[in-house]
Amino acid sequence: MSSILTNSSAMVALQTMRSISQNLTKTQSDISTGKSVASAKDNSAVWAISKVMESDVKGFKGISDSLALGTSTVAVARQAAESVTDLLTEIKGKIVAAQESNVDRAKIQTDIVALRSQVSSVVGAAQFNGLNLVDGSNASVSILASLDRSSTGVTASSITVTAQDLSIGAYAANNVFAAGLGTAAVSTNADTFSMSLNAGGGADSITIQNGATAWAAGDQVSMRIGDKTASYTVTASDVDSGANTVSDLVAVGLKNAIDKLGVSGLVVDYDSASPGKLSFTNNGTADLAVTGQFKNAGSGGLGALSAIDVSTGPGATAALGSIETMVQLSIDAAASFGSVQTRITIQQDFVGKLTDSMKTGIGALVDTNMEEASARLQALQVQQQLSTQALSIANQQPQGLLSLFR
């Protein structure tokens, strides 16, 4: 049935044209914005996922900045520790030269003082953005390294950088070492000692005694056996136990620390009948050199460097054992900074690659496939033209009814 009031063909054509126009608008929007999911109304689930990932990408950009700052700070500290190691090695060479009696020890001491001043300059200048990791002003710092997302939320993880103390503070001699009956050579100020333990039963002893001044929290006694170092730091509770007990506590603490080193053949005994006395026996197959160093609280990691005096024979002998401990301290510091710098660099590379992968993932979710959009645009433009023709034909149908009334 034909009707001039209801044109079904025109309505169908109009609906088709409206649908094509909507699709054409969407395709043009995809092309102009470059995104197939530009807002939540396009695809709420995908849009929500993409926004979460975009926020993570922004967070990782901040982490990259943190890691860049961290690696620069650690690099400065590492370079300083390496420079200090070089300077201490040079000082060691002069101390070795001072072992010879037919040298001008006074001039050698002058050179050592100059090198000591240079060590202080290096340590003082080793800061980046105001943070110094080698002057003893910091215990440790944390560098933001990652954002870890899970079903329970987001947590931040950090890389901890342990600061090193290579400063030369105010050193105060305290006379804490007393020699045993063997070959132990104690320095004139009794704050350093050295002894040799022959293989196959070589023995000697050293006694930790109350010094010229009272023990204080932070005082440290260290011993180096071969290429390993053990140390004990006096605590506030040690001091509260009484002056006569502190030396015993230090001796016992050192014995425990030395035992943990696992030096082959070395036996260390604590004689409770002789307060503070440690007896060393070398049952191993290699000779062992043992040196000791006292460092008062606040003197800095290299505070004992200010006590080195090679102007006399005994002083030169004691300095040789003391400098070895300090060289190892600076080497350990440089190695520690180098290790953590490598870790930070690895994390930087990972964060960069992770950020790129996340951006690729976001793009796969929301970006427009331009090749597909181009083909769809051309098809819709043709469909739009055809729907316009169809609507025009449908609108002409009532005109055909006039011929029935002629």
**pLDDT higher than 60, residue 187:** no
Q: Are strands 288-295 and 192-197 parallel, antiparallel or unpaired?
A: antiparallel
**pLDDT higher than 60, residue 316:** yes
266: part of which helix (H) or strand (E)? strand 266-271
Burial class (CB in 10 A: 0-12, 13-18, 19+), 72: middle
**pLDDT higher than 70, residue 184:** no
Longest dimension (CA), the chain: 144
The proportion of the chain whose per-residue pLDDT surpasses 70, expressed as a percent, equals 95
HSE on the CB side for 27, CA within 13 Å? 18
pLDDT digit string, tens, across residues 356-376: 998 888 888 887 878 887 888
Domains in the chain, start-ordered, CATH in brackets? Answer: 47-167+335-358 (1.20.1330.10), 177-298 (3.30.70)
Burial class (CB in 10 A: 0-12, 13-18, 19+), 179: middle
The proportion of the chain whose per-residue pLDDT surpasses 90, expressed as a percent, equals 30
Angle (CA) 110-114-118 rounded to 5° is 165
- Spatial distance between the Cα atoms of 284 and 292, rounded to a whole number of angstroms: 20
- The pLDDT value recorded for residue 189 is 56
244: part of which helix (H) or strand (E)? helix 243-261
- Spatial distance between the Cα atoms of 183 and 180, rounded to a whole number of angstroms: 8
Could you tell me the two tokens for 323?
A: 């400098």
pLDDT digit string, tens, across residues 40-53: 887 888 888 888 88
pLDDT digit string, tens, across residues 91-132: 999 999 998 888 899 999 999 999 999 999 999 999 998 899
b/e per residue 202-218 (b: at least 16 CB within 10 A)? bbbbbbbbbbeeebbee
- The pLDDT value recorded for residue 260 is 93
